[in-house]
Amino acid sequence: MKIALGVGGGIAAYKAAEIARALMERGAAVEVILTAAAEEFVRPLTFAALTSRKVITSLFASSSAEDVLSSSVEHIRVAQENDVLLVAPATADLMAKFAHGLADDFLSTLYLAFTGRVILAPAMNTNMWNHPATQANVATLAARGHVILPPDSGPLACGTVGPGRLPDPVRIAEATIDLANRRRDLEGETILITAGPTQEPIDPVRFISNRSSGKMGYALAAAAAARGARVILISGPVELDPPYGVELVRVVTALEMHEAVMKHLAESTIIVKAAAVADYHIAKPPLQKIKKTMARMSLELDPTPDILAEVGRKKGDRLLIGFAAETSNLVEEGRRKLETKNCDMVVANLINLEGTGFGAEENEVTLVMRTGEVAPLARLSKREVANLIFDHALKLRLALHATQ
Ligand code: PMT
């Protein structure tokens, strides 16, 4: 996959080097274009060393007639050879040029000549971002079908606090790779995904929870959104940024997750329950902090609602995918949950393997399906596991419909 990376002139330009590296680590060939303003912040040599390619800095690279001729069609070559044009940071000036079709340097000329997918990561001062002129240009570019990665909020180099920060380079790289790979085979689906742990209060200070980081559920949400689905992500407390384009519903307890799932069930076509929900809670936690007065103490716990089982009873012809976190008998436990919870697929993972499951970047799962098929998957990144789950889910739905 080939990515043209246009770098605008802003303080965040230095982060474009990390973006280039993250893209290359994910298998992309990267060709970098620096605007004249970007060159004030970063040197072409940095990008040339990272990408092992010449960096483009000017529409007219040389003054000889022959060179001018060849370099003036260079923007056509770059437009034709690359699958995606990523501009990061996209400055207010660059977006204004793109929105109005101005072409007075290499990047703006490339933009007009480029017919592939465009992704823009704006970064600028908060007032500049909020200005009606910038917002109107962003709306114009979004209406053209370009992907706009909204800036993060936080303290900016100019001293203000608010929206304007370039998002994390790895997130930008992943969104760009998604765009380049985009399969739109989940378009028309509304996929409800649960992720992360729940926290069950013991008193106002303490809670019972588990080691789920939310990475598996968030990877599912990102993969589904990249493949065109509307995604409703119901998430317990995690330290992750929500993937672009998903509708995030934050919850804390199992009861809140239950309520949110039931609220959105009717509009969903596929439900994926990756969350690690507490099975027990204190039904009425005390309002005051429990004091350390007893030599021993015990907590009385009541069961939480089994959300998966209830969805299984109410799902109709929706596709229901449950997870099973097990320490042994993976396939047997997967089959048992498939039957007792009326799932169509159970994603069973052994959670006592080093480097997979809770908190890890990778997962090693076995898919147990209603058709009787059992598909053990290799150890893969959670994102790759997520894509394979959806690949199997689409095939499974066809197979289930064929047998009805
Ligand atoms: O979040 P990560 O750090 O990335 O880790 C990923 C993971 C290990 C949490 C994930 O891959 C996983 O296995 N999720 C399910 C964890 C779990 O709670 O498994 P379980 O076997 O206890 O529950 C079985 C299923 O019932 C799950 O789909 C769960 O969401 C659901 N459930 C459980 C209890 C409950 N009260 N309601 C439910 O719906």
Domain-located, residue 185: no
Q: pLDDT tens across 384-395, in order?
A: 899 999 999 999
Domain shared by 48 and 132, yes or no? yes
Domain shared by 262 and 168, yes or no? no
DSSP 372: S
Please say if the pLDDT value at position 98 is more than 60: yes
Query: Cα of 177 to ligand 1 centre, how many Å?
Result: 28
CB atoms near residue 269 (< 10 Å): 16
- Active site amino acids: 158
Distance CA 175, CA 88 (A): 12
Domain shared by 52 and 71, yes or no? yes
Domain shared by 170 and 196, yes or no? no
Structure tokens at 8: 């605008």
Domain-located, residue 395: yes
Domain-located, residue 261: yes
Average pLDDT for the chain: 93
Query: Cα of 139 to ligand 1 centre, how many Å?
Result: 39
Q: Higher-confidence residue: 241 or 308?
A: 308
Query: Cα of 278 to ligand 1 centre, how many Å?
Result: 9
CATH label of the domain that carries residue 194: 3.40.50.10300
Q: Which atom of ligand 1 is nearest to the CA of 324?
A: 21
Residue with the nearest Cα to atom 23 of ligand 1? 324
231: which residues sit within 8 A by CB, 6+ positions away?
Answer: 190, 191, 193, 221, 224, 225, 243, 245, 246, 247
Domain shared by 198 and 144, yes or no? no
* SS3 (DSSP) at 2: strand
- Give the per-residue pLDDT at 72: 58
* Residue 117 main-chain phi, psi, to 5 deg: -85, 140
Domain shared by 162 and 203, yes or no? no
Query: Cα of 348 to ligand 1 centre, how many Å?
Result: 10
The residue type at 299: L
If pLDDT is split at 50, 70 and 90, which confidence band does 64 have?
low
Q: Which atom of ligand 1 is nearest to the CA of 307?
A: 39
User: Nearest to residue 322, comparing CAs of 273, 367, 286, 371?
Assistant: 273
Domain shared by 318 and 380, yes or no? yes
Domain-located, residue 128: yes
Query: Cα of 70 to ligand 1 centre, how many Å?
Result: 59
- Give the per-residue pLDDT at 235: 98
Residue with the nearest Cα to atom 35 of ligand 1? 306
Domain boundary among 180, 199, 223: 180
Distance CA 199, CA 237 (A): 8
Domain-located, residue 28: yes
Please say if the pLDDT value at position 258 is more than 90: yes
Domain boundary among 180, 199, 226: 180
Q: pLDDT tens across 152-186, in order?
A: 988 877 788 888 999 999 989 988 998 888 777 89
Q: pLDDT tens across 350-378, in order?
A: 898 899 999 998 999 999 999 999 999 98
Structure tokens at 332: 């047997």
Q: Which atom of ligand 1 is nearest to the CA of 322?
A: 28
What is the mean predicted confidence (pLDDT) over 71-87? 88
Residue with the nearest Cα to atom 27 of ligand 1? 323
Q: Which atom of ligand 1 is nearest to the CA of 305?
A: 36
pLDDT > 90 in the chain, percent: 77
Whether the link from the prior residue into 376 is cis, omega within 30° of 0, is: no
Q: Which atom of ligand 1 is nearest to the CA of 337?
A: 24
- Give the per-residue pLDDT at 144: 81
* SS3 (DSSP) at 395: helix
Q: Which atom of ligand 1 is nearest to the CA of 333?
A: 21
Residue ranges making up the domain that contains 144: 2-180
Pocket (CB within 6 angstroms of ligand 1):
194, 196, 212-216, 254, 273-277, 279, 304, 306-308, 322-325, 337, 349, 351, 357-359, 363
- To the question of pTM greater than 0.85 for the whole model, the response is no
Query: Cα of 256 to ligand 1 centre, how many Å?
Result: 16
What is the mean predicted confidence (pLDDT) over 89-96? 98
Domain boundary among 128, 161, 180: 180
What residues does 158 pair with on adjacent strands?
A: none
| CB-CB contact of 270 with 400 (8 Å) | no
| CB-CB contact of 244 with 175 (8 Å) | yes
Domain shared by 74 and 195, yes or no? no
Domain-located, residue 275: yes
Domain shared by 30 and 6, yes or no? yes
Domain shared by 219 and 251, yes or no? yes
Domain-located, residue 79: yes
Q: pLDDT tens across 309-342, in order?
A: 999 999 999 999 999 999 999 999 999 999 999 9
What's the structural domain count of the chain?
2
| 235, 256, 308, best to mutate for ligand 1 pocket (most atoms within 8 Å of CB) | 308
| 277, 280, 336, best to mutate for ligand 1 pocket (most atoms within 8 Å of CB) | 277
Residue with the nearest Cα to atom 26 of ligand 1? 308
Please say if the pLDDT value at position 382 is more than 80: yes
If pLDDT is split at 50, 70 and 90, which confidence band does 68 have?
low
Query: Cα of 244 to ligand 1 centre, how many Å?
Result: 23
* SS3 (DSSP) at 235: strand
Q: pLDDT tens across 264-286, in order?
A: 999 999 999 999 999 999 999 99
Domain shared by 257 and 165, yes or no? no
Block residue for tokens 């990475």: 215
CATH label of the domain that carries residue 174: 3.40.50.1950
Domain shared by 162 and 245, yes or no? no
Q: pLDDT tens across 5-49, in order?
A: 999 999 999 999 999 999 999 999 999 999 999 999 999 999 999
